[in-house]
Amino acid sequence: MQSRRVGTLTLGIVLISIGVIFFLSTFFNLSFEKEILKFWPLILISLGIEILVLNSLAVRQKLYVKYDLISLFLIVVVLFLSFGTYAFSNFVLSKSFYHQIM
């Protein structure tokens, strides 16, 4: 019996998207942190779409759906790292933070 893994496609899309965003941010000196935070629900939406599509394919083609727990864990880690990068760049590296310490 064939099986399909849920979460692998979403993880690939997330990693490529965040990599492209950070690449553009690095080479063109653009700030994309706020945009990443605006669109983070798209990760959950794409994961949900992937689950629904693979479940419907599994019913029609008699496939076994397997949840890729490592990919799902890595998606959560990438989300937290994105939030952490935004928080660090806006709050810790801001000039007002240094004025509050001094």
Give the other-Cβ count within 10 Å of 66's Cβ: 14
pLDDT of residue 58: 79
pLDDT of residue 44: 79
pLDDT of residue 79: 79
14 exposure class (CB count in 10 Å sphere: 0-12, 13-18, 19+): buried
Q: Is the pTM of this model over 0.75?
A: no
pLDDT of residue 29: 76
pLDDT of residue 81: 82
Report, as ranges of residue numbers, the positions in the chain whose pLDDT lies below 70. Answer: 1, 3, 32-37, 90-102
Long-range contacts of 23-26 (CB under 8 A, 24+ apart): none
Reference 6, options 59, 61, 48, 62; nearest CA is 48
Give the other-Cβ count within 10 Å of 7's Cβ: 21
